[in-house]
Amino acid sequence: MAPSSDGPTPVVEPGPSQEVEEPTVAALRQRVRQQEILAALGVTALHGASFDELLDSTARMAAQGLRADFSKVLEYIPSENRFLVRAGIGWSPGVVGVATVGADLASPAGYALRTGKPVISNHLENEERFRTPEILRQHGVHRAMNVILQGDGRPFGVLEVDSRSDDEFLEQDIAFLQGAANLLGMAIERDRHERSLRAALDRQQVLLGEMNHRVKNSLMIVSSMLRLQASEVGDETLNRHLGEAAQRVMAIGKVHEQLSHGADVQRMDIGRYIEAVCRDLDASVPHCAIRCEVQPGIEVASDRAVSTALIVNELVANAAKHASDSTGSDAEIVVRLSAGDDDALVISVRDAGEGLPADFDIARPKGLGMRIVTAFVSQLGGMLAVQARAPGTEFVITVPRKAPRP
Ligand SMILES: Nc1ncnc2c1ncn2[C@@H]1O[C@H](COP(=O)(O)OP(=O)(O)OP(=O)(O)O)[C@@H](O)[C@H]1O
Ligand SMILES: [Mg+2]
């Protein structure tokens, strides 16, 4: 930022070189060069260079623009009241990433940080306002310029260029260095925002996962209590009804188990969910083997997935209940799920039993199971077909993957 009447007044040691002179062609070229470097740095910052790359580029370009031997990005460490040399050019090994310098008001960098004013010191050896940091002495630095690295919040630190040569840094150079520092400051701020957003997102994911886990556990408890109650009543019909109710609750609970694994709560892999529901059913009907063949990677909205799973649950329960008696202990029920035409989902439940009774009418369901099936198929905007097989029965449901537009 160019020093202006309302900007911070630079702290420049007095001397003949600071008197206003007509700019020479060489000086004008130098300003143009600095503008080009700032533009290049802006492009690097906008193109999403990594944070460390950006620190390095700023240090390198700042040194280039001021024809300086050294530059450094100093990160302020409040707990130590010191600066860490976070990036830099020209320093001997063991300085960048390791060395620290004091951040008190008596150091040029500390002064720039605390006051926000740019500092130029062209004759460090004669400097009375500030002490010369040891690291500059060791590297034979004669002159230094510091500007604050400010973001929206607390300052990150200071950008400094140093040189061994007897030339001088001018007040006009401050505009270039502050420009570079401002670009870096914006990138630092963006990096801070991104980090806090990522942290918030991670926290939200953990919470969601935890919530789904708890809902699943609660539903499992409800399901277990229903089963327990079923075993207590001593009435076979009631016992069976409670057992079926427990299985339905379990199928809904499974959705929360699936959701607690995934990153998205709105959508889920329907195949994996149906597989999990079938595993449970398999365990609850020991006289049947349930084979599940699903096409993986078909994503549907979670609420549609729950309705679909409840349909499968009823059809498999029916197959286990009404079709397995005739086929004996190794009765097999096959559940298939695949993507159909027009973004539809095709699910088939097939058994090898005796087939449907003569009075079975798909349009007039009598039992609760088929009423659940037809209600959910219509809610999903799908179709239900039933086919007699030899042997057995196959129910085929075709549902659109996405909800029809209202
Ligand atoms: N896979 C099948 N094989 C043979 N018959 C079946 C099959 N599926 C359903 N049925 C017949 O259709 C009828 C209606 O099934 P539905 O699921 O509506 O009732 P349910 O199973 O008898 O009782 P519930 O209300 O407990 O489900 C059954 O009673 C049965 O006779
Ligand atoms: Mg039934």
**pLDDT tens, 180-236?**
999 999 888 888 889 999 999 999 888 888 998 999 999 999 999 999 988 888 898
User: What pLDDT, on the 0 to 100 scale, is given for residue 385?
Assistant: 96
User: What pLDDT, on the 0 to 100 scale, is given for residue 329?
Assistant: 56
Q: Please indicate, yes or no, if residue 248 is contained in any of the structural domains.
A: no
Measured in Å, residue 254 CA sits from the centre of ligand 1 at: 24
169 and 281 within one domain: no
| CB of 356 sitting under 6 A from ligand 1 | yes
322: which DSSP letter? I
Mapped onto helix, strand or coil, the DSSP state of residue 153 is coil
User: What pLDDT, on the 0 to 100 scale, is given for residue 277?
Assistant: 93
- For residue 56, name the pLDDT band (cuts at 50, 70, 90): very high
Domain count, the chain: 2
Q: Please indicate, yes or no, if residue 208 is contained in any of the structural domains.
A: no
Burial class of residue 401 in the structure, from the number of CB atoms within 10 Å of its CB (0-12 exposed, 13-18 middle, 19+ buried): middle
| CB of 369 sitting under 6 A from ligand 1 | yes
Q: Please indicate, yes or no, if residue 371 is contained in any of the structural domains.
A: yes
276 and 146 within one domain: no
287 and 391 within one domain: yes
Q: Whose CA is nearest to atom 12 of ligand 1?
A: 360
Q: Please indicate, yes or no, if residue 114 is contained in any of the structural domains.
A: yes
| CB of 404 sitting under 6 A from ligand 1 | no
Q: Please indicate, yes or no, if residue 108 is contained in any of the structural domains.
A: yes
Looking from the CA of residue 392, the nearest atom of ligand 1 is 3
Q: What is the pLDDT of residues 71-101, one digit of tens each?
A: 999 999 999 999 999 999 999 999 999 999 9
Q: What CATH number does the domain containing 18 carry?
A: 3.30.450.40
pTM passes above 0.95 = no
Q: Choose one of 165, 194, 223: the last residue of a domain.
A: 194
23 and 111 within one domain: yes
Q: What CATH number does the domain containing 355 carry?
A: 3.30.565.10
Residue 14, pLDDT > 80, answer: no
DSSP-assigned beta bridge partners for residue 158: 74, 148
Q: Is residue 287 a contact partner of residue 329, using CB atoms and an 8 Å limit? A: yes
Q: Choose one of 194, 229, 248: the last residue of a domain.
A: 194
282 and 187 within one domain: no
Q: Whose CA is nearest to atom 30 of ligand 1?
A: 322
Q: Please indicate, yes or no, if residue 226 is contained in any of the structural domains.
A: no
Q: Which domain holds residue 24?
A: 11-194
Q: Please indicate, yes or no, if residue 132 is contained in any of the structural domains.
A: yes
- For residue 290, name the pLDDT band (cuts at 50, 70, 90): very high
Whole-angstrom distance, CA of residue 400 vs CA of residue 383? 9
